[in-house]
């Protein structure tokens, strides 16, 4: 299946001479949730702004469902919705008016039934006559999404959808985004919350200093780069790792009560069997054990860490 969004060799140098994007290529499949992760200033907003026609690229091309964003800009733009971070419309408008107006901006004919469906899907229907100023933060965020959906885009960009919101609202937003995905909308979200990517995404792309340094299926990424730790809770504390166990990659906790073994989930052998045999031979008994996989957070920090 052809990708719904295809970005090819995209570069951007701002007037200041700063190169914010360096030949970025990326294909987004229809119906997926793609999380673009990156530290501050990595180029996420620049990338989205180019695709949405807000910023011009210096070179490269982008197509949306086969429509070039420069040559066929009308067709391309009508397929895209953008949920910005902030609500900038008139605070004294009603929800209904502001969402209907957004549809008009794309030259689409009035369609009360579609606006109604969008508002109902986002649980905003009973707020339709409320002025924006009277809404809670969570409801305002929903209005932002409703505005971006009013012209029935097939690809929805969410720029930091949960920046600065509390945990409850974040979970609420995640549910809303999942429901949208279930209706067939392709979703691309930028975030610096690893938890968000881990929770929501089918695939993860990492951008750093204007370059895409990795694109991977999320589960595959965690499997590939993930390291696992096996913690053994000892029956009797040790003062040092016994010499007989020095061949294993072991660390002893400061109170001597736990041995931590780190291994690569990618390795042919984990080494756990040999470790357990050697522990037995050394007469070390343990009361309990647990394993822990690295989180996307740890993987991400390792990826973007500048070598010192």
Question: Pairing state of beta strands 186-191 and 155-159?
Answer: parallel
Q: What's the distance, Cα to Cα, between the start and end of the chain in Å? A: 43
The site map against ligand ATP for 156-195 (x = CB under 6 A) is ------------------------------------x---
Check if the beta carbon of residue 227 is closer than 8 Å to that of residue 294: yes
Query: Rounded to the nearest whole angstrom, what is the least distance from the CB of residue 191 to ligand ATP in the complex?
Result: 9
**Dist. CA 180–CA 122, nearest whole Å:** 9
Beta strands in 29-154 (DSSP E): 33-37, 59-64, 67-68, 80-83
**Does 306 contact ligand ATP by CB under 6 A?**
no
The number of beta carbons lying within 10 Å of the beta carbon of residue 129 is 9
Site pattern 37..66 for ligand ATP (x: CB under 6 A): -x-xxxxxxx--------------------
In the complex, minimum distance from the CB of residue 68 to ligand ATP, in angstroms, rounded to a whole number: 22
Shortest Å, Cβ 85 to ligand ATP = 9
Within residues 2-21, the interface with ligand ATP by CB under 6 A covers 14, 16, 18, 20
Binders in 18-37 for ligand ATP, by CB under 6 A: 18, 20
Burial 248-257 (b: 16+ CB within 10 A, else e): bebebeeeeb
Closer CB to ligand ATP, residue 103 or residue 170?
170
Say how many C-beta atoms besides its own lie within 10 A of residue 52's C-beta.
Answer: 20
Would you tell me which residues interact with ligand ATP (CB under 6 A)?
14, 16, 18, 20, 38, 40-46, 192
């Amino acid at each position: 299946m052809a990708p719904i969004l295809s970005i090819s060799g995209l570069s951007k140098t701002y007037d200041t001479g700063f190169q914010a994007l360096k030949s970025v290529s990326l294909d987004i499949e229809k119906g997926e949730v793609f999380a673009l992760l990156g530290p501050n200033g990595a180029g996420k907003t620049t990338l989205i702004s180019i695709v949405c026609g807000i910023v011009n690229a210096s070179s490269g091309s982008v197509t949306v469902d086969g429509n070039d964003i420069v040559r066929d800009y009308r067709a391309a733009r009508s397929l895209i919705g953008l949920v910005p971070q902030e609500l900038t419309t008139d605070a004294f408008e009603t929800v209904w008016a502001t969402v209907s107006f957004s549809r008009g901006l794309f030259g689409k004919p009035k369609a009360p039934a579609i606006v109604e469906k969008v508002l109902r899907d986002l649980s905003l229907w009973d707020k339709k006559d409320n002025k924006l100023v009277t809404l809670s933060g969570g409801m305002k965020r929903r209005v932002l999404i409703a505005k971006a959906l009013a012209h029935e885009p097939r690809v929805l960009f969410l720029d930091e959808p949960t920046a600065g919101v509390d945990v409850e609202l974040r979970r609420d937003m995640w549910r809303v985004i999942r429901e949208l995905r279930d209706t067939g909308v392709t979703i691309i979200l930028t975030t610096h919350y690893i938890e968000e990517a881990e929770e929501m995404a089918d695939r993860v792309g990492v951008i750093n200093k204007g370059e895409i340094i990795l694109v991977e299926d999320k589960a595959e990424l965690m499997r590939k780069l993930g390291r696992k730790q096996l913690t053994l809770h000892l029956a009797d504390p040790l003062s040092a790792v016994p010499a007989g166990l020095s061949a294993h990659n072991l660390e002893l906790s400061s109170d001597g009560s736990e041995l931590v073994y780190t291994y690569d989930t990618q390795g042919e052998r984990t080494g756990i069997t040999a470790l357990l045999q050697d522990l037995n031979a050394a007469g070390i008994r343990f009361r309990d054990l647990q394993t822990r996989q690295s989180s996307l957070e740890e993987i991400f920090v390792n990826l973007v860490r500048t070598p010192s």
